[in-house]
Amino acid sequence: MQPGPGLGGKNREHKLVLNSRKVLEITGVKHVESFDSEEFLLETEMGFLSIRGHNLQMINLDVDEGQVSIKGRIDDLVYLDQHDGEKSKGLFGKLFK
């Protein structure tokens, strides 16, 4: 089963390519929720993805294709699953424990 439509109504494959923990390329991105030099929060075709590290910078953003590239030192990639009945507020609560 393929993922549902993302931005622009296209079906997108979600893929992560991490090169030497320095450059991360992501496809299937629906929305960039927030980002700074230590953490990115992305909504992807497979759920919310938190990327943590140091000196993180967005080097490419293609909204039409749902692609994001990030450089810096990547320390942590975590998918944040929501449980049934849990609101988005709970999702951000998990991030800022």
Residue 91 confidence (pLDDT): 60
Domain count, the chain: 1
Q: In angstroms, how far is CA 75 from the centroid of its own chain?
A: 14
- Flag whether 63 is in a domain: yes
Low-confidence ranges of the chain (pLDDT < 50): 1-9, 84-87
Residue 54 lies in a domain: yes
State the pLDDT at residue 92.
Answer: 60
Contact in structure between 58 and 43 (CB atoms under 8 Å): no
Confidence (pLDDT) at 94: 57
- pLDDT value of position 37: 97
> Looking at residue 88, which CATH number applies to its domain?
2.60.40.2000
Structural domain boundaries, residue 67: 7-95
> Which pLDDT does position 58 carry in this prediction?
97
- Predicted local confidence at residue 63, as pLDDT: 87
- Asked whether residue 18 is assigned to any structural domain, the reply reads yes
pLDDT at 3: 41
Could you tell me if 33 and 41 are in contact, meaning their C-beta atoms sit under 8 angstroms apart? yes
Q: pTM value?
A: 0.74
Interatomic CA distance for residues 29 and 68, integer angstroms: 7
Asked, for residue 16, whether it belongs to a domain, the answer is yes
